[in-house]
């Protein structure tokens, strides 16, 4: 499942093809992805200008000049492919349509944006931009990790008294939006916090220290995504995770980069957690 940095990387790579440009033709090849697609979707997209391409948590939002936003969720296997010349030259080569190309957007300027999703865990919807906060997928999401609302005082207050392990508390999308299994493991390692500790029993100072650490691991991953994208013409969730940046995730048994102790893997709420039993208290 792509996490926030992967989604942000996809957003950034789609922006030159989509932002400020009119969708000259939208093609919707099936009635549903994970959930039914909105009615008259192709009609509501065709001819609309994309004013802005934003990200909220793990969702991409394309604000249209109609007052609606196209909400895009990549799910497990969704990919956004950009083909053609996005600078509007004469050279418009698009690959042959593939199976699982569910939504195809031809953009003013010649680029084509294709949503391909073999497993159909992805989602798209059209939502009134001014009412997006009430959309069922977005309502209840906590603050963005890079937003002003997510700060030291907020996190300390939010986790006060919570008996759940700190790892589960940070995965809770009501606490902070967009954090997933990988980057929570990485952030707890850098903060030196044992993922099994009860959130409410960790000193406020140590909880506060998590805020800049969370931003740091996400920023580094976004930067790594940007550099891996330079080598690829296509915007794709398939670019994968930026593994070279991981210090603990998926490194069970490997030596801790700080102290050399073999890293451990445990299962918390059905998901793997990786940590250093010596550095993380
Ligand atoms: Zn260590």
Per residue in 237-276, is it b (16+ CB within 10 Å) or e — as a string?
A: bbbebbeebbbbbebeeeebeeeeeebbeeebeeeebbbb
- Which among 144, 220, 271, 277 is annotated as catalytic? 271
- Better-scored residue on pLDDT, 232 or 210: 210
Cα-to-centroid distance, 278 and ligand 1 (Å):
5
Per residue in 136-149, is it b (16+ CB within 10 Å) or e — as a string?
A: ebbeebbbbbeeee
Helix (H, G, I), strand (E, B) or coil at 38: coil
- Better-scored residue on pLDDT, 137 or 79: 137
- What pLDDT is attached to residue 85? 63
Confidence band, pLDDT 50/70/90 cuts, at residue 227: low
- What pLDDT is attached to residue 87? 53
Q: Is 271 a catalytic residue?
A: yes
Cα-to-centroid distance, 167 and ligand 1 (Å):
18
Cα-to-centroid distance, 42 and ligand 1 (Å):
53
CB 94 within 8 A of CB 88: no
Cα-to-centroid distance, 126 and ligand 1 (Å):
47
Structure token digits, residue 189: 């390692």
Helix (H, G, I), strand (E, B) or coil at 68: strand
Q: What is the mean pLDDT of residues 30-37?
A: 96
Cα-to-centroid distance, 280 and ligand 1 (Å):
7
- Which among 2, 5, 143, 195 is annotated as catalytic? 2
Confidence band, pLDDT 50/70/90 cuts, at residue 13: confident
Cα-to-centroid distance, 262 and ligand 1 (Å):
8
Report the C-alpha gap between 193 and 155 in whole angstroms: 15
Q: What is the mean pLDDT of residues 255-266?
A: 98
Neighbours of 207 (CB within 10 A): 22
Q: How many helices (H) and strands (E) does the chain have?
A: 6, 10
Q: Is 3 a catalytic residue?
A: yes
- What pLDDT is attached to residue 232? 46
Confidence band, pLDDT 50/70/90 cuts, at residue 244: low
Give the contacts of 208 (CB within 8 A, at least 6 positions apart).
152, 153, 155, 156
Give the contacts of 203 (CB within 8 A, at least 6 positions apart).
none
Q: Is 31 a catalytic residue?
A: no
Cα-to-centroid distance, 212 and ligand 1 (Å):
20
pTM to 2 decimals? 0.90
Can you list the alpha helix ranges (DSSP code H) found in 160-203?
Answer: 166-171, 181-191
Residue 10 has pLDDT above 50, yes or no: yes
Q: Which residues line ion ligand 1, judged by CB < 5 Å?
A: 256, 258-259, 261, 276, 278-279
Dihedral sign from CA coordinates of 275, 6, 156, 160:
negative
Cα-to-centroid distance, 187 and ligand 1 (Å):
14
Q: Is 58 a catalytic residue?
A: yes
Residue pLDDT, tens place only, 94-119: 888 889 999 999 999 889 999 999 89
- What pLDDT is attached to residue 239? 45
**Would you list the DSSP string of 258-278?**
TT-PBPEEEEETTEEEEE-TT
- Which among 3, 8, 132, 186 is annotated as catalytic? 3
- Which among 58, 79, 190, 251 is annotated as catalytic? 58
């Amino acid at each position: 499942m792509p996490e926030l940095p992967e989604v942000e990387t996809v957003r950034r790579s789609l922006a030159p093809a989509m932002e400020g440009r009119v969708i000259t033709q939208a093609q919707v090849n099936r009635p549903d992805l994970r959930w039914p697609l909105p009615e008259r979707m192709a009609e509501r997209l065709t001819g609309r200008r994309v004013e802005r391409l934003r990200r909220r948590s793990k969702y991409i939002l394309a604000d249209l000049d109609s007052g609606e936003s196209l909400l895009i969720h990549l799910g497990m296997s969704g990919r956004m492919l950009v083909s053609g010349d996005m600078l509007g030259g004469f050279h418009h080569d698009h690959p042959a349509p593939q199976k699982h190309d569910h939504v195809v957007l031809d953009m003013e300027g010649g680029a084509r944006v294709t949503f391909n999703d073999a497993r159909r865990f992805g989602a798209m919807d059209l939502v009134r931009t001014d009412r997006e906060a009430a959309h069922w997928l977005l309502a209840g999401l906590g603050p963005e990790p890079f937003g002003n609302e997510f700060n030291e005082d907020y996190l300390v207050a939010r986790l006060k008294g919570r008996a759940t392990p700190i790892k589960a508390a940070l995965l809770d999308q009501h606490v902070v939006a967009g954090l997933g299994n990988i980057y929570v493991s990485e952030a707890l390692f850098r903060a030196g916090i044992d993922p099994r500790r009860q959130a409410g029993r960790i000193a406020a100072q140590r909880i506060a220290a998590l805020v800049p650490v969370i931003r740091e691991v996400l920023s580094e991953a976004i930067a790594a995504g940007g550099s891996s994208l330079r080598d690829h013409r296509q915007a794709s969730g398939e670019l994968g995770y930026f593994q070279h940046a991981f210090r603990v995730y998926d490194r069970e048994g490997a030596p801790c980069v700080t102290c050399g102790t073999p890293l451990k893997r445990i299962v918390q709420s059905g998901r793997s957690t990786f940590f250093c039993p010596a550095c993380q208290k």
